[in-house]
């Protein structure tokens, strides 16, 4: 019913032989506490939450003795599922969002559509292979897992940059700001000429 305040939150868990994840997401803010065992990834997820205005509590235990791939990808899966769960049929939201974010010499861009048709376009060469214990090639894996499980058409581009830390952080912040726009309540119906997404 219009006029009522809906709490836009979701709790998701995922347990496999590779990772154990518990995640709480609130699109309208709240506590932020993130532990994945990968310091740089924690930093990126915290930046995502802060710049999106999201509450995010996340605990992930993964097989980091192998590498960070399963941890990063599976967190993307669970975060995407949380967004999809919160938004349901996607009625009453702005649906589209975009943002440019500068980070020192780097400039990141994100455009997205909460369309129900998952797709990823990712154009962001990484000049360095690692940021701390985080393999920079995992950024695309996270973004793909997130987009596919959230049902989002997601375009990300590094316009330029020389430092992989700055490039990656600009992309996470751009994603956050674009998603913040797209999930803004409008009070209307599903924003689609078809009447459904």
Buried b (16+ CB within 10 A) or exposed e, 71-94: bbbbbbbbbbbbbbebbeebbbbe
pLDDT digits (tens, 9 = 90+) for 18-74: 999 999 999 999 999 999 999 999 999 999 999 999 999 999 999 999 999 999 999
**Among candidates 187, 196, 176, which has minimal Cα distance to 50?**
176
CA distance 69 to 64: 8
Q: Which two tokens stand for residue 140?
A: 């695309």
Domains within the chain, CATH numbers bracketed:
9-190 (3.30.230.40)
The confidence score (pLDDT) of residue 36 equals: 98
Note whether 143 and 62 are within 8 A (CB). Answer: no
The confidence score (pLDDT) of residue 188 equals: 77
List of long-range contacts for 1-8, beta carbons under 8 Å, 24+ apart: 2/187, 8/86, 8/183
The confidence score (pLDDT) of residue 192 equals: 62
The confidence score (pLDDT) of residue 193 equals: 66
Whether the model pTM is above 0.85? yes
The confidence score (pLDDT) of residue 2 equals: 43
Query: What residue ranges of the chain have pLDDT lower than 70?
Result: 1-5, 190-197
């Amino acid at each position: 019913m219009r006029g009522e305040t809906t709490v836009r939150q979701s709790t998701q868990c995922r347990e496999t032989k590779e990772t154990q994840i518990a995640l709480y997401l609130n699109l309208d803010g709240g506590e932020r506490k993130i532990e994945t065992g990968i310091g740089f990834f924690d930093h990126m997820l915290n930046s995502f939450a802060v710049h999106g205005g999201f509450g995010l509590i996340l605990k992930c235990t993964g097989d980091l003795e192998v590498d960070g791939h399963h941890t990063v990808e599976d967190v993307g899966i669970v975060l995407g599922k949380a967004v999809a769960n919160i938004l349901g049929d996607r009625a009453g939201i702005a649906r589209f969002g975009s943002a440019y974010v500068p980070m020192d010499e780097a400039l990141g861009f994100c455009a997205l559509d909460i369309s129900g048709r998952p797709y990823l376009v990712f154009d962001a060469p990484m000049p360095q292979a690692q940021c701390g214990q985080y393999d920079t090639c995992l950024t695309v894996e996270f973004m793909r897992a997130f987009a596919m499980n959230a049902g989002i058409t997601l375009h990300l581009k590094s316009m330029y940059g020389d430092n992989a830390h700055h490039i990656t952080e600009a992309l996470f912040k751009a994603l956050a700001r674009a998603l913040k726009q797209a999930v803004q309540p409008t009070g209307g119906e599903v924003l689609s000429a078809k009447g459904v997404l």
